[in-house]
Amino acid sequence: MQKLKLVSSISIALFTFYLAGCNDDHDSNQTISQKPKPNVLFIMADDLGYSDLGAFGGEIHTPNLDALTQEGRILTDYHTAPTCSPTRSQLISGTDHHQAGIGAMAELTPAHLKGQPGYEGYLNNRSLSIAEVLRDNGYRTYISGKWHLGLTPETNAHAKGFDHSFTLLQGLDLHFKQNPSQYNRAGLATYTEDGKKIAVSDLPDDFFSTDYYTDKLIQYLDSGKRSGKPFFAYAAYTAPHWPIQAPQKYSDRYKGQYDVGYEQIRNARIAKQKQLGILPANFQAADPLATAQIPKYPKWNELSSEQKALEARKMEVYAGMVENLDDNIGRLIQYLKANGQYENTLIFFVSDNGAEGFVRGTYGTETGFDTSLAAVGTANSYHYIGPRWAEVSAAPFHLWKDTAGEGATTAPAIVKLPNQKKAENIYHGFASVLDVFPTVLEYANVSVPKDQYKGRQINNPSGISWKSTLENKTASIRPAEFAFADELHGNKYAKQGDWKIAYQANGNLGTGKWELYNLKDDRGERNNLADSHPEQVSKLVEVYNKYTQQNGVLEFKQ
């Protein structure tokens, strides 16, 4: 009898242990079935033009970004603000830059607008920070590179939700540590790490911006890799923003490549874009500007041999900057792969606006810079690519950064989803930098805050998540007749459906009044239809006026 009781007790105990084991397995399976939140790597180039990457038709060697397109998706109609800090404010806040505090760039805000709501010149307190929201929801948050959204401790990236930050506070700096002694860099460039100022003299002697920003971001990623938390990492590069400078080993790789001139390189890029499917075969590219519009910058066949040599060398250096940028992006990707984090990372690559075509001041012997041909691209040089190479960089679009042309706001964009293994079809629909905020939050399984956040009134993010479209659940991000508009420094545009109106603040670049283009047939903005379709102009002016009322846009006067 005792033996029977013992067997029975053992059986009950084993059965109970079995049930407990089943429950443990069930709980474990539940845990496994809950997908971990993805990491997010957002990479932003500075003034990179639409056609500069190999995957977008360019001849510059960019194997790492080209490879990313083979595991991701290309977006051919991705839009930014017309210049850098407005775009960066829209990325961080998810709101129009006039709401975010960058109604005009701080450096270019006229006296009558300074201090007005939306024209504070920094990311204002009504602006929610994507880093703040993600950190509040379990993310590690890092930035390395250009901030350009505030110069004070209260407006620093460190105060806007980033756990670790190495930032250039202004819009630009030289790319090397070295500079001519006559050049007063201290008043022009401020670096901070986690909110504390770093003197240029304290940077390593071999400092080159793109290399160092990458070093710092990898350092930050490495510091938290055992935390068990996902990361949001913002690689905010300053390449290839002027002044164009590059390590010689990069720029020398392109010796002679650009001796054929603007038109031949531009035409080759456009042909390649059509071959790659970036553009339809019947796309009519924008016409280069007439020499009369920019008399200081004639066409290639109007240049002297000395001018051609200088122009070709400038583009060799620019190409070297872009290749160096691609190499550093490759370093980030290899780090993620080596640490088992690549597969579960949502990766964005974009430029902050179109190519830079303006020459914004000159720096020559009076500030110690070497203006010789041999010095182009070195630490002692200061050059821009200028409007003619910008027309190449922006191909096939009209104009460049800080205008109302498509070349100002259309930027290359690549997205790779977590665990994506192969390329998806190119997406040709309209997308905006405003959309990044809700897209990232949806992938992080975080609701987009509205009206208030932690007790303060906020501007509501206004973009649309790409998630369902990227996952092929919906055909497009926006409906066919969506309306969109923007203004910056007096340049303004509005679009709805196939139509766009544009006003160029620089009279040499436009007609001095609203121009009208049918983007479906003429995205190159070759044929101004304003005189033949005045009713369409009036309709779009209403769209623009509504936009200004909703976003507090004030008239910009120099």
Q: 503 - beta bridge partners?
A: 492
Which residue is catalytic, options 61, 148, 175, 398?
Answer: 148
Tokens read off for 160: 């806007």
Residue 11: how many CB atoms within 10 A of its CB? 10
Side by side, the strands of the sheet bearing 39-45 are: 196-198, 191-193, 164-168, 140-146, 231-236, 39-45, 345-351, 410-416, 73-79, 427-432
**89: Cβ–Cβ under 8 A, 6 or more apart, which residues?**
95, 97, 100, 101, 102, 123, 127, 149
CA dist., res. 398 & res. 416, Å (int): 28
Alpha helices in 1-116 (DSSP H): 2-33, 63-69, 84-93, 97-100
CA dist., res. 479 & res. 189, Å (int): 43
Residue 35: name the closest of 434, 306, 417, 507 by CA: 417
Contact by Cβ (8 Å): 469, 475: yes
Which residue is catalytic, options 61, 79, 84, 175?
Answer: 84
φ, ψ (nearest 5 deg) of residue 154: -70, -25
**In this structure, what DSSP letter does residue 270 have?**
H
**Residue 84 a catalytic site member:** yes
Distance of CA 126 to the CA centre of its chain: 22
Contact by Cβ (8 Å): 430, 77: yes
Residue 558: how many CB atoms within 10 A of its CB? 7
Tokens read off for 152: 């004070």
**115: Cβ–Cβ under 8 A, 6 or more apart, which residues?**
none
The widest CA-to-CA distance across the chain, in whole angstroms, is 113
**25: Cβ–Cβ under 8 A, 6 or more apart, which residues?**
none
Contact by Cβ (8 Å): 176, 199: no
Q: 232 - beta bridge partners?
A: 40, 141
Contact by Cβ (8 Å): 357, 318: no
Given the structure tokens 């192969």, which residue do they identify? 422
Tokens read off for 84: 């850098």
Residue 391: name the closest of 378, 377, 403 by CA: 403
484 vs 86, 89, 124, 168, 333, CA distance in Å? 16, 18, 23, 31, 34
**Residue 98 a catalytic site member:** no
Active-site positions read: 84, 148
